[in-house]
Amino acid sequence: MRVLLQSAFILHRRPYLNTGLLLEIFSHQYGRLGLVARGATSPRSRLKGLLQPFVPLLLSWTGVGELATLTAAEEAERPKPLPPKPLLAGFYANELLVRLLPRQDPLPELFLAYQTLLNDLTRLSDEEPGLRCFEKKLLEQLGYGLTLDREAVSGAPIVAEARYRYILDQGPLAAHQTQAGIPISGHGLLALRDGVLDHSSVLKEVKRLTRAALAEQLRGRAVKTREMYRIKRTLPPD
């Protein structure tokens, strides 16, 4: 199979043989793929320096199966480099995609959500709202979307002023009904539903919910960038 000039991003790269790279990419029409880029790091290669994360690319490849061969690459548009502060957030999103997405499963809505996240990281001072919205979309696309507008058993609409506990395999229940699950306010559930995450208290409880839901899908696998976040928080400020 020969594929020409597909919109894609590099999620992860590592050396292959002497001058090659093994790439994990996320493409608009083909989803997550593995590509081998032969000679990509050789001094005379036109690809040298181009195959980097967060750069909008047009990629061509040939082959089928688990690992195809990159045949061409070019910038899709002038890249907007991520500032140093949100760079780790971008790598966190990339790690989630590599760990959770099946190969060769087209997810165009998630691709657009990823583009939106990268745009937000380049222009907004707070990375947290964009990350929570991206996590929500990722869960939806994996088939494990969160119920954010109604109670799990009764189907009653979520009330902003009420307190709930979210049971991951059911949904939100009124807090007085159970001691299990993740505590969250109705305001938090509705804010995540609407993508309006402009209060620090709401962000904290929404983060607790999305991280717990993602942990279910990760099945005990550690997320390396989260450990880097923890290390970063312990370092003294510049």
The domain spans of the chain are: 2-75, 87-234
* Percentage of the chain lying above the pLDDT 90 cut: 80
Question: What pLDDT shows up at residue 218?
Answer: 95
The C-alpha atoms of residue 42 and residue 46 are separated, in whole angstroms, by 9
pLDDT band for 81, please (50, 70, 90 cuts): confident
pLDDT exceeds 60 at position 236: no
* Assigned token pair, 47: 């690809």
pLDDT band for 223, please (50, 70, 90 cuts): confident
pLDDT exceeds 90 at position 162: yes
Q: What is the CATH number of domain 87-234?
A: 1.20.1440.120
pLDDT band for 207, please (50, 70, 90 cuts): very high
Helices (H) and strands (E) in the chain, counts: 6, 8
pTM for this model (two decimals): 0.92
Query: In 3D, which of 118, 133, 115, 148 has the Cα closest to residue 196?
Result: 133
Q: Rounded mean pLDDT of 82-103?
A: 94
Residue 4 belongs to what H/E stretch?
Answer: strand 2-16
Domains 2-75 and 87-234 share a fold: no
Q: Are 73 and 57 in contact (CB under 8 A)?
A: yes
The C-alpha atoms of residue 60 and residue 2 are separated, in whole angstroms, by 8
Residues 176-195: tens digit of each pLDDT:
998 999 999 999 999 999 99
Evaluate whether the domain defined by 2-75 bears CATH number 2.40.50.140. Answer: yes
The pLDDT mean for the chain works out to 93
